[in-house]
Amino acid sequence: MTAYTQVSANKYKTWLIMLIFAFFITFAVYVFTFALGFQGPSALGFSGIALIIAGIMNFFSYYYSDKMVMAISQAKQIQIKDNPTLFRTVENLCIASGLPMPKIYIINDSAPNAFATGRDPKHAAIAFTKGILDKLTKLELEGVTAHELSHVGNYDTRMMTIVSILVGTIALAADFFLRISFYSGRNREERGSNQLMMIIGVLMAILAPIVATLIQLAISRKREFLADASGVLLTRNPDGLASALLKISHDKEPLEAANKATAHLYIINPLKNRKDAIGWFAKLFNTHPPIEERIRVLHQMQ
């Protein structure tokens, strides 16, 4: 897949994901209200409200998801006076790629990692952890920066960031239904509807892996290989990125600011060293290809 086809595919998938989200929320609310005894026009009325809410969520996800992700990640924007060397590195690669200068953020965490976000190149931002700035060499940091800028140029960031917010919303909705199912219906008259709500809550929890599968389909592993390759075209130095990937993957410090909704944004899975790291089953839905495979491909680009 070329960079041009990747851009077109990402734009299409972004709108598809937003439509799926609107349908999912509307359908879930309809079933939930039906279980509570609301039927006919009442259930449809609640579903209409849910559709409006989903539309509002899509709007905010499209225009403000980058700010939300930065806030969730505890990232703070910096200016050129705060780190002139980093700004020069990013600026030089922007000139080489023809991209506008993104906003630069720092995550005060010693674990090395980085990610890019933004709905388009004009509204892009790149977040670096303090650890990646301290532990990587200049050439390694250039490789990582070029990789993230490639995500910006390929419009990966728009899709990945919106997915983070929408999936987080779905997770909250699933938790809401589960809590209602367990804490409501304490008297005999309410038990019937409580059982129905419990079934709905459990079903929504079961849907979580399906949502993860949709994410995997929307955010193909090929995007990482393409970003690696595009980044190397900017730096002309595959060893820099390969060395950075190896160093980051071998680092044992957990990235506390990351969570499962934003993990796919990072250059390397940030949850691997956490106590709540995803297990073997969740790895089936991992959107990052194996580091060894990425490094092998980079070495073949010599």
- The domain segmentation of the chain, as residue ranges, is 1-302
Instruction: Please give the pLDDT value at position 269.
Output: 85
Question: Residue 156 region, left (φ>0) first, then alpha (ψ -120 to 50), else beta?
Answer: alpha
For residue 288, say whether it is annotated as part of any ligand binding site.
no
Instruction: Count the alpha carbons within 13 Å of 276 in the hemisphere toward its beta carbon.
Output: 7
pLDDT of residue 196: 62
pLDDT tens for the chain, residues 1 to 302 = 555 665 677 677 777 877 877 787 777 777 766 665 666 666 667 667 777 877 787 788 778 888 988 999 999 999 999 999 999 999 999 999 999 999 999 999 999 999 999 999 999 999 999 999 999 999 999 999 999 999 999 888 887 777 777 777 776 766 666 666 566 554 445 555 556 656 766 676 667 656 655 665 566 667 888 899 899 999 999 999 999 999 999 998 989 888 777 888 899 988 876 555 545 444 555 667 889 999 999 999 87
Q: Which of 148, 189, 292, 293 is catalytic?
A: 148
Q: Residue 97, Cβ neighbours under 10 Å: how many?
A: 18
Q: What is the pLDDT of residue 163?
A: 73
Which tokens hold the place of 6?
A: 């990747």
The verdict on whether residue 299 carries a ligand-binding annotation is: no
**Residues found in the chain:** 302
71 CB neighbour count, 10 Å cutoff: 10
Q: Is the pTM of this model over 0.85?
A: no
> Would you list the DSSP string of 132-189?
HHHHS-HHHHHHHHHHHHHHHHTTHHHHHHHHHHHHHHHHHHHHHHHHHHHHS--SGG
Pairing state between β 125-129 and 103-107: parallel
Q: Is residue 190 flagged as an active site residue?
A: no
Q: Give the pLDDT of residue 260.
A: 73
Q: What pLDDT, on the 0 to 100 scale, is given for residue 59?
A: 82
Compute the distance between CA of residue 222 and CA of residue 21 in angstroms, rounded to an integer.
23
147 among annotated binding-site residues? yes
Q: What is the pLDDT of residue 215?
A: 63
pLDDT at 188: 45
- Paired tokens of 112: 């090395």
Contact residues for 85 (Cβ-Cβ < 8 A; gap 6+): none
Helix axes 138-153, 238-250, angle to 10 degrees: 100
Residue 215 identity (one-letter amino acid): I
